[in-house]
């Protein structure tokens, strides 16, 4: 069986996400895969590339042929050079982890309690009217 390492497309119309899979060369692009060995998210900046290096080395060792896009990814991660016995390339750019959002209290939120409403509540107006009427009838 001829085995290829290729990209399986996922995601919506204009936001592609790919999985790097090992599959029979005769299967469809998104068809059944033998094994998933990585991820590729080109929309993120920098692109998110994750490859299980050990499994990629195994499949390359048993004769799996990478497609052109996967070959480019394997060269970026250094797996192709490792397979060929060449020196590794420069390390990939890694996105900085997002800082946690500061909480409202940490930003100096109101410690005074509830503020007063801009408009008066209707129930309060009705109670005021009722007490005024009862006071006028009693007098």
Mean pLDDT per 10-residue section of the chain, whose length is 139 residues: 92 93 92 93 90 93 94 92 84 72 66 66 71 70
What pLDDT, on a 0 to 100 scale, did the predictor assign at position 128?
Answer: 74
Measured CA angle at 68 (ends 82, 47), to 5 deg: 75
CB neighbour list of residue 69: distance below 8 Å, 6 or more residues apart: 6, 7
- Domains of the chain are 3-84 (3.30.1320.10)
**Predicted pLDDT of residue 112:** 62
User: In this structure, how many other beta carbons lie within 10 angstroms of the beta carbon of residue 81?
Assistant: 14
What 3-state class would DSSP assign to 126?
helix
Residue 88 has a pLDDT of 76
Q: Decide: pTM greater than 0.95.
A: no
């Amino acid at each position: 069986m001829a085995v290829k390492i290729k990209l399986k497309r996922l995601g919506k119309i204009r936001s592609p996400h790919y999985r790097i899979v090992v599959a029979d060369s005769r299967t469809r692009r998104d068809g059944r895969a033998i094994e998933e060995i990585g991820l590729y998210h080109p929309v993120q900046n920098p692109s998110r590339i994750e490859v299980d290096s050990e499994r990629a080395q195994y499949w390359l060792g048993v004769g799996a042929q990478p497609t052109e896009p996967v070959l480019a990814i394997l060269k970026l991660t250094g797996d192709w050079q490792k397979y060929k016995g060449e020196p590794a390339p420069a390390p990939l750019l890694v996105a900085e982890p997002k800082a946690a959002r500061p909480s409202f209290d940490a930003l100096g939120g109101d410690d005074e309690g509830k503020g007063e409403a801009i408009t008066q509540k209707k129930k309060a107006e009705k109670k005021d009217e009722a007490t005024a009427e009862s006071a006028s009838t009693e007098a």
